[in-house]
Amino acid sequence: MRLYEFQAKKIFADHGIKVPNGCVVNSPVEAGKITEEFGVPVAVKAQVLMGGRGLAGGVKFAQNPDEAQKLTTHILGGSLKEEDINCVLVEEKIPIETEYFAGVTLDYHSKTPVVIASSRGGVDIEKIALEHPAEIVKEKIHPPLGLTDFQARRIAKKNGLKGRNMLSFATILKSLYSMLLDLEATLVEVNPLALAADGSFIAVDAKIVLDDNALFRHHELLSELEAYKKIPTEGVKFRKSLAEKAEIPTYIELSGNIGIIADGAGTGMLTLDLTKDLGGAVETYCELGGRATPELIEEAMNIVLSNGNIHVLLINLIGGLNRMDEMAKGITSFLSKNTKRLELVGKPEIIVRMSGTLEEEGRKILGEAGIGSFDNIYDAIEKALELSRRS
Amino acid sequence: MCILVDKDTRVIVQGITGTVGSFQTKVMLDYGTKVVAGVTPGKGGQEIHGVPVYDLVEEAVEENGGDTTISFVPGPFAADAAIEAIETGLGLVVLTAEGVPLLDVMRVMNLADERGVVIIGPDTAGIISPGKCKVGVHPHKLFVEGNIGVISKSGALSYEVSKALSEAGIGQSTVVGIGGGPMWGLKQVEALKMFERDDETEQIVLLGEIGGTMEEEAAKYIREHISKPVVALIVGRHAPEGEKMGHAGAIIHHGRGLAEGKIKALKSAGVHIVKGPREIPLIVKDYF
């Protein structure tokens, strides 16, 4: 889970990294007021979680309060790549001498944290890596040792820094590394890290991505983040937010009339591949993970079928940890509660494929409710395709 | 022979008193796996399906022996349980948990490497050597003893493919689920190496998916070191970019980790590529 820039900057400041004077606001009037207080040109930055914000027009500069107010009105009224904008960060514009890149992330290959730094800051790191691979310094951190002072200095030096600048840069790397550990983040990055005229380094942007699996140890951060999220009330964003709330691992909408619910990532992707290979148009891909409960599959059916484009729902289950008796209970429970609703939306066809742990028990429960099921994945997909063509 | 687990494997179950741990212990016992003891902190002294339960792994091993552990301990506590197993000296640790914090996984992997312990997972269905031993959660009716070695990131996909093989009368030597990533203990390359050495394994089925570069590494290894025929299925060919497809490791980022590149690499290493499970028995039969 990514943090907003203003949240990340607060954490940066708490860890001793200098950030521009700034204030997060959600109205144009406030933006004007803040700019007046600062008394200098400002940057007005949309607070969104997507990448590539600058290129998409989410960062503007204002010379005076009036201009800041106008820009804020414009930014708050729009969205960036379909992401709603709830607030902007108004901050002093920094006169930049040189731009650097500094980040710490986890390297899954070596199973260690890794520091990445470059004197080519200001642009996408992927782009630097492509165009100037030699100008990216990458060093693995030996986990028990952590990032040592000398290693941080060496990385700074490799980026062409000397004297006091080398030492300040090394201090920043150390702070980024300790943030990664403290927050259990998967990425802590600053780009650009500006070297100001007075010789100090300032984090002009800040990016922190937390490990979703470790959020249970960081409740405060999580609730703060939730407070700034706009809750959607309709459409695909709404269905996605419901899936997230229900802790459904994957919910994706594509384009078509077939919905897929699967109980494993590998077989889910296989179902998607085979359905598309055979000419099917998949509208929804929903995957329940290896520890699904009756309630989870019932909620998944609720969410998937609340999309009116679905004419055929293909449920592909092959359980190891997932018990087919439990999956069958969830399916029959959904159907018994939704008879009327399904009639109203024109009765989507529901195809169930069931195999694996306690499959006989599962089939029996389905059978008692008058629901047939397939044993073979291809038979189920072919049936779903046949029905989807009819609709 | 077969790899990793066989009829002599002595298994400890961590998290044995939970709903899942207890149910899966019963299934493993029914299959004939030698589950010698279980561990749940605070529940020492109880019995689950006739298996004695201890507070500590070292107590369980002291009184019953044991060389392998399967852990049903949930994500937030999984790392501590794994470290306990490694510190106790067990040689093979199967981690079924999903959602283990990544810095925890890193800590476990680093310690395991230092001690020479093999980690399977996390987020794995485990290992089954059909007819001999199961240290996992596989629906074992779908598996038959035989000569095909199966390596899979996804548990469910390995059930699907083994089902297709078994129904065609083709059995498996060992089926290894290596887990959903994005960090792995045992990787495809190590499993390939084991199958190459194993007398009972005549052919290898590699089940990969989008994300990362593991299949490309496997392709390189196959070209240089594997003499047995390999068939591969890569899923996620139609996955949209930038979306996590259920497994933490299954994501296409900036055009990297695409199925296309993996298929190309494997093909050029002489691997037979299929699009779905029903093609696998046909290819495999041709080689016999």
Instruction: Classify residue A348 by its DSSP letter.
Output: -
Domain residues for A67?
21-92
Do residue A356 and residue B278 have CB atoms under 8 angstroms apart?
no
pTM: 0.93
Which member of B103, B125, B238 has the closest CB to residue A273?
B238
* Residues A319 and A385 occupy one common structural domain: yes
B68 HSE (CA, 13 A, CB side): 24
Q: Which two tokens stand for residue B152?
A: 């899979």
Which member of A144, A211, A249 has the closest CB to residue B102?
A211
Domains contained in chain A, number: 3
Q: Which residues of B touch A316 (CB under 8 A)?
A: none
Closest alpha carbon to B172 in B219, B118, B89, B231: B231
Last residue of a domain, one of A198, A227, A256: A227
Instruction: Give yes or no for a contact between A383 and A258, defined as CB atoms under 8 angstroms apart.
Output: no
Q: Which residues of B touch A213 (CB under 8 A)?
A: 75, 99-102
- Among residues 166-225 of chain B, which lie with CB inside 8 Å of chain A? 180-183, 207, 209-210, 212-213
A254 to each of A50, A259, A276, A368, B1, how far by Cα in Å?
Answer: 19, 10, 12, 34, 46
Set out the domains of chain B in order of their start, with CATH numbers. Answer: 10-120 (3.40.50.720), 138-287 (3.40.50.261)
- Is residue B173 classed exposed, middle or buried when 0-12, 13-18 and 19+ CB atoms within 10 A define those classes? buried
- Dist CA B243 CA B176 (whole Å): 26
* B247 is a catalytic site residue: yes
- CA-angle at A376, arms to B259 and A269, nearest 5°: 20
Instruction: Give yes or no for a contact between B236 and A273, defined as CB atoms under 8 angstroms apart.
Output: yes
Last residue of a domain, one of A44, A63, A92: A92
* Residues A212 and A107 occupy one common structural domain: yes
Q: How much is the pLDDT for A345?
A: 67
In a domain, A267, yes or no: yes
* Residues A118 and A73 occupy one common structural domain: no
Distance from CA of B137 to the nearest CA of A (A): 5
* Residues A194 and A70 occupy one common structural domain: no
B19 to each of A372, B51, B124, how far by Cα in Å?
Answer: 29, 15, 18
Last residue of a domain, one of A66, A92, A118: A92
* Residues A63 and A209 occupy one common structural domain: no
Q: Which residues of B touch A269 (CB under 8 A)?
A: 209-210, 235-236, 239, 245-246, 250
Map tokens 């840069």 to a residue: A169
Lowest mean pLDDT across A342-346, A383-387, B76-80, B276-280: A342-346
* Residues A101 and A194 occupy one common structural domain: yes
Closest alpha carbon to B261 in B273, B277, B278: B273
- Dist CA A98 CA A193 (whole Å): 8
Which member of A111, A126, A186 has the closest CB to residue B254?
A126
Instruction: Give the pLDDT of chain B (288 residues) as one tens digit per residue.
Output: 789 999 999 999 999 999 999 999 999 999 999 999 999 999 999 999 999 999 999 999 999 999 999 999 999 999 999 999 999 999 999 999 999 999 999 999 999 999 999 999 999 999 999 999 999 999 999 999 999 999 999 999 999 999 999 999 999 999 999 999 999 999 999 999 999 999 999 999 999 999 999 999 999 999 999 999 999 999 999 999 888 888 888 888 777 899 999 999 999 999 999 999 999 999 998 777
Q: How much is the pLDDT for A230?
A: 67
Which member of B153, B160, B237 has the closest CB to residue A273?
B237
CATH of the domain at A334: 3.40.50.261
Map tokens 């299925």 to a residue: B233
- Dist CA A54 CA A253 (whole Å): 27
* Residues A357 and A214 occupy one common structural domain: no
Do residue B156 and residue A267 have CB atoms under 8 angstroms apart?
yes
CB-based burial, A337-374: b 16+ in 10 Å, e otherwise: ebeeeeeeeeebbbbbbbbbbbbeebbebbeeeebebb
Of B138, B140, B247, B272, the active-site residue reads B247
**Is A265 at the interface with chain B, CB within 8 A?**
yes
Query: Under DSSP, is residue A140 helix (H, G, I), strand (E, B) or coil?
Result: strand
Query: Under DSSP, is residue B62 helix (H, G, I), strand (E, B) or coil?
Result: helix
Instruction: Classify strands A136-140 and B230-235 as parallel, antiparallel or unpaired.
Output: unpaired
- Dist CA A137 CA A127 (whole Å): 14
